[in-house]
Amino acid sequence: MKYIFVTGGVVSSLGKGLTAAALGTLLEHRGLKVALQKFDPYLNVDPGTMSPFQHGEVYVLDDGAETDLDLGHYERFTHTKLTRFNNLTSGQVYQTVLNNEREGKYLGKTVQVIPHVTDEIQKRIYLVGEMTKADVVITEIGGTTGDIEGLPFLEAIREFAQDVGPNNAIFIHVTYVPFIKAAGELKTKPTQQSVAKLREIGITPHIIACRCEYPLNKDVRQKIALFCNVPFEAVIEAKDVDHSIYEMPLMLQRERMDELVCRLLHLDVPRPDMRSWQEIIRKLIAPAHRVRIAVVGKYIELQDAYKSVYEAVIHGGIAHDCGVQIEKLDAEQIEGEGAERVLKGIGGILVPGGFGERGIEGKIAAARYARENNVPYLGLCLGMQIATIEFGRNVLGLAGAHSTEFQRDTPHPVIDLQEDQREVRMKGGTMRLGSQVCQLVAGTRIQRLYDAASVKERHRHRYEFNNRYRASYEAAGFVIAGMTPDGSLVECIELRDHPFYCAVQYHPEFQSKPNAPHPLFRGFIEAVHDNLHRRPLLGPVGA
C-alpha cells in the first residue's frame, strides 16, 4: 500500500481538499484504487455541532457520520467509499486516548502526545487502508503548518512515513504564491518559510503545489525548487481554474503531478484516459443551454455553507448540457422586499436544508411563489418542511401552521418531533442521520425520476411531517411520493397540479457526482429548462 500526505502552508482555504480529490481522480483513471481521508486538528468530535459560519457545510456520509466538507469533494471526484473512519479530529483522538486511560489500558504509564496521541492517529491511517483495500491512501491534514494544534498530526505522519519506507509514502505541500501588484512580482518567500516550518519537524515535501493567480515563470519555479529542496519538476503550478473546480484534475495532469507521484511511489500504471472528464468540462464551459435558478437560504453570503447543493445543481445541468446560473438569495431579503420582486424571472427555486428560525418566512414566501406561479421547486430537508407549512397555511387554510422547531405552541404542528427525539438532550450526533431506505410510490414523478421502487438517501434532521395531517394534505393534491418501509415517516412529496414541485426530507445533494448527476437534480434542471418555452429565461446560448 502507498501513502500520500497532503499538508498546507501559508494560509487556509487553499483548496488542499480539492487538490487531494483531483489527484485521486487522476490516480483512479490510471486504474488504481484510491482511498481518501481527512484529519482535522480541531477539538470538536465532529463538525456536526459547529455553525456554518465556523465550518461551512456539514457533509453526511452513508453511515451517518457528520464530516468535513472536503469529504464531499472526495466522493464527487472519485469512487472512494467513505465511512466515519475517513474523518479524524483531534477531539476523537483525545476522546479515545482519555477513555483508554480511564480503562487502565496504558498500564500505569504517563499518557503523552508522543507516543499515545500520535499512535492513535497512525492507527487510523492503517485502518482506512485495510478497510478500503486501496492501492493508494491519500490523507489530507487540515489546517496550516505552524498551527500548534496540527503538530501531533504532522509528527504522526512523519513517523508513519519512516515506518513504511521511502518508496511507499510521499508528502505534497500545498502553498500560496502571491502576486504583489506594487512590485509586479510573484513572491516565493511565504512558500519557503512554510516549507522551512515543515522541515523543522522533520518532513521534507516531495512535491510543492503552488496555488497562484498568475502562472509561475521559470525563475519562480527554480527559486522554489532551490529553496525548498525539491527538483524543478516537483514545483507544480496550481493556478486558479477559469470555470469550474472539475478542471483541477486536468490542470494537475498538465503539470504531470500524477506522473511524478507514480514515479516517486514506484507505481507502474498506464497514463490516465481523461476523455470523459474532458467532456464534462466542455459542457461546463460551453453548454448548449442555460438556465437560472435561485437558492433561497440563510447562509447565502458564505461560499461553503451549501457546497454540495450548488455542486448537485451544476451536475443536474451537466446531464442536459445546460449551464446553471445560481442566484444565491437571502431569505430575509424576500421577507423585506416580497417574493414577487426578488424572484421575478427566476427559472427554478431551491430551498436547501437549515436550522433555526431566521429567514423561515422568506423561504415560505418563496415556496408559495413557486407553487402559485408554476415555477419548478426543489425542497431539500428543511425545504420539504417549508413546502409543508406553506401548503398547510395557504391551501388547506390551517392558520398559523408551523414546525414546532420554530413555534412550539403552533395550533397546527404540521412538522413535529418524532417521539424518540423528544428525550434527546445531547446535541452531538443525535439527529436522524445517514442513509435510510425510502419506498417510492409507483407512478409519482419522483419515482419515475429515480426509475426504482426504493432508494437509499442520507438524512440529517430531527423533525418530520406530522402524519395527523396526512389525509387532508393528500386530498388537496399534496402527493406523498415516498415513505420509510414501515410507512411511518414521509420521505418525499410532490404537488399533483404543478409542472415540478418536489421536496424530500433527506439530502440527495450528498450523492450527486459530475459524472453521475442525481436524478432529482437532473429532473429539476430539466423542468426548469422545459419551462423556457413558456417563460424565456436566459435562453439557449447565442439566442
| Site residues (vs ligand GLN, CB under 6 A) | 353-355, 381-382, 405, 460-463
Closest distance between ligand GLN and the C-beta of residue 360, in Å? 10
Provide the 8-state DSSP code for 114: I
Closest CB to ligand GLN among 195 and 480?
Answer: 480
Residue with smaller CB distance to ligand GLN, 277 or 465: 465
Please give the Cα distance from 240 to 164 (Å, whole number).
34
Whether the CB-CB separation of 4 and 205 falls below 8 Å is answered with no
Least distance (Å) between residue 354 CB and ligand GLN: 5
- Min dist. Cβ of residue 325 to ligand GLN (A): 24
Dump the DSSP string for 27-43.
HHHTT--EEEEEEE-SS
Cβ atoms of 205 and 172 closer than 8 Å: yes
Nearest-CB residue for ligand GLN = 353
Q: Are 297 and 495 in contact (CB under 8 A)?
A: no
- Between 53 and 106, whose beta carbon lies closer to ligand GLN? 53
Minimum CB separation of residue 151 from ligand GLN in Å reads: 35
In the complex, what is the shortest distance from the CB of residue 524 to ligand GLN, in angstroms, rounded to a whole number? 17
Half-sphere exposure of 374 (CA within 13 A, CB side): 9
Measured from the CB atom, is 132 or 403 closer to ligand GLN?
Answer: 403
| Catalytic choice (507, 518, 526, 529) | 507
Please report, for residues 202, 385, 477, 494, the alpha-carbon distance to residue 388 in angstroms, rounded to integers and kept in the order given.
57, 5, 12, 10
User: Cis bond leading into 115, ω under 30°?
Assistant: yes
Burial of 249 (0-12, 13-18, 19+ CB in 10 A): buried
Calpha distance 193→196 (Å, rounded) = 5
Residue ranges of E strands in 85-234: 87-89, 136-141, 169-176, 179-180, 185-186, 207-212
Find the length of the chain: 543
Nearer of residues 40 and 405 to ligand GLN, judged by Cβ = 405
User: CB-wise, 412 or 460, nearer to ligand GLN?
Assistant: 460
State the nearest-atom distance from the C-beta of 526 to ligand GLN, in Å: 24
- At 322, phi and psi to the nearest 5? -130, 120
Q: What is the 3-state secondary structure (H, E, C) of 305-343?
A: CCHHHHHHHHHHHHCCCEEEEEEEEEHHHHHHHCHHHHH
DSSP 9: -
The nearer residue to ligand GLN, 171 or 506, going by C-beta atoms, is: 506
**Partner residues linked to 455 by β-bridges:** 438
SS3 content of the chain, % helix, strand, coil (to 5): 40, 25, 35
Q: Which one from 262, 381, 438, 502 is the annotated catalytic residue?
A: 381
CB atoms within 10 A of CB 163: 11
Cell numbers representing residue 530 in the block: 422545459
Cell numbers 442555460: residue = 290
If the CB atoms of residues 463 and 501 are measured against ligand GLN, the closer one turns out to be: 463
Say whether 455 sits in a helix, a strand or coil.
strand
In the complex, minimum distance from the CB of residue 20 to ligand GLN, in angstroms, rounded to a whole number: 26
Q: Residue 432 or residue 529: which is nearer to ligand GLN going by CB?
A: 432
Query: Of these residues, 255, 509, 526, 529, which one is catalytic?
Result: 509
Distance CA 488, CA 221 (A): 62
CB of 464 to ligand GLN, least distance (A): 7
Query: Can 381 be counted among the known catalytic residues?
Result: yes
What is the spatial distance between Cα 297 and Cα 363, in angstroms, rounded to a whole number? Answer: 7
Rounded least distance, CB 432 to ligand GLN, Å: 8
The catalytic residues are 381, 507, 509
